[in-house]
Structure 1
């Protein structure tokens, strides 16, 4: 099926283009020093997580075989998110976790990252056309096998009930638009100490995703970013991630998707 490469994006500044990615290289090198710090942080702060598999309650929402097909190399993937998907804080602020995971897993992907936005928040644009729901609708001509909706940490001024309701309606719309696609929501993934301020947001997004029947990957609950590893992964502003941090986040999301694709009789560690 012919697919649009412009993504049908709303009228937003050209500095935030929808980008198409194909597999271009093998797994990139990750700075071992920073990763060592991250590992140490997990071992010190989270011995249970680092030594044992935790079974997430939402892993059975999508059959494992569907996930395996959706994440296979060459799959058509749509990623919609905020500045983390765009790559703010990285080299030239244009290479985030989304670009890394697309390259690493060999997807044929459309990446739509727009800084400051969320399920409700419109950032500095002041237009509902930049919310996740509107941008998902703008990609209606695509035919993705996997849809990843990342973020919501920008929705900090929104009441939890409104956020939960909006998350549910947004993800339900994605399901209606692409009934054969695997839809996965990914929550706030800020480094510490900002991560601690996103607890209410993450809980609201989790509730909305559950109501919509969509699998939710929760970086905050799984403590991907700790007080020990965050200094090595945070950008200079302390709000975003650096190149190593985005690769780390990409690896974590890829691992979570692999776990969702594991046979149901195997432990799944998200």
Structure 2
């Protein structure tokens, strides 16, 4: 796995962006083609001399849909939140996908894929984020939903043990091509997951279901593969994520 640090400058704001990205092939799933706050307050903005809060985003190709990690929707959102952005993304991976039962080689990288929970220990040794955002599940459509739910709960527990003082955020998996599609992770599924003891204190967000996205034709927000967001789509997703984070009070400086 290759780790690299990137720097991102945005307008008058300078935010460091560290990226841990591995690009590999996506895993096809039956009937699916993967490729994968109260409002803003002055408290949520750090001064130029203060150490910025940091966020670690762990996920799949949607988490870093372009090769320029600093332009991904998660790092765009981090810039708006004035956070340092770190990313660990393996296309085709998920809470189960890419793990022990179905590993795949990484394109242009040594080694094989890992699932999201398998990455937590090594990431914990390298990063001490204030916020950890789990952004996966899109490639976990092939196992039984019950097994995926257990894997998600297990990941939440592992993340809490790894970063006991961080705010944990779980993003409900969806695709921008059809924001209303819950991919089988319906409200009953999410209710059970949120009730799991491992989910205590976790912030659950559903940014792609934002009315500004779910209620419109999103074709102009998609790239050539008609699956991943283009630059405009990245920005719209970033705006939706920031709105969801602020609505739930995530990112307010201590």
Same fold (TM over 0.5): yes
Aligned equivalents of 1:241, 1:172: Cα separation in 2: 30
Select which of 243, 246, 250 maps to 1:255. 243
Alpha-carbon contact 1:234-1:241 (below 8 Å) kept: yes
Does 2:131 correspond to 1:146? Answer: yes
Structure 2 portions without partners, runs of 5+: 14-36, 106-111
- Aligned equivalent of 2:33: none
- Tell which deviates more after alignment, 137-146 or 163-172: 137-146
Alpha-carbon contact 2:57-2:87 (below 8 Å) kept: yes
Select which of 176, 189, 192 maps to 2:174. 189
Alpha-carbon contact 1:210-1:216 (below 8 Å) kept: no
Aligned equivalents of 1:104, 1:27: Cα separation in 2: 11
Does 2:186 correspond to 1:208? Answer: no
The number of aligned residues is 206
Aligned equivalents of 1:233, 1:201: Cα separation in 2: 23
Shift of 1:69: 9.0
- Aligned equivalent of 1:237: 225
TM-score (norm 1): 0.65
- Aligned equivalent of 1:6: none
Structure 1 portions without partners, runs of 5+: 1-11, 29-58, 60-64, 263-270
Per-residue displacement from partner, 1:47-103 (whole Å, max 9, x unpaired)?
A: xxxxxxxxxxxx9xxxxx9x9599x98112111011011224xxx565321221223
Q: 1:251 to 1:222 in 2, by over 3 A?
A: closer
Task: State the secondary structure of the residue aligned to 1:201.
Answer: coil
- Aligned equivalent of 1:117: 93
Note the aligned Cα RMSD (angstroms): 3.3
Does 2:56 correspond to 1:78? Answer: yes
Aligned equivalents of 2:241, 2:153: Cα separation in 1: 21
Select which of 99, 115, 131 maps to 2:115. 131
Aligned counterparts, 1:28-47, within 5 A: none
Aligned equivalents of 1:130, 1:106: Cα separation in 2: 30
Which structure shows the higher strand fraction?
A: 2
Shift of 1:220: 5.3
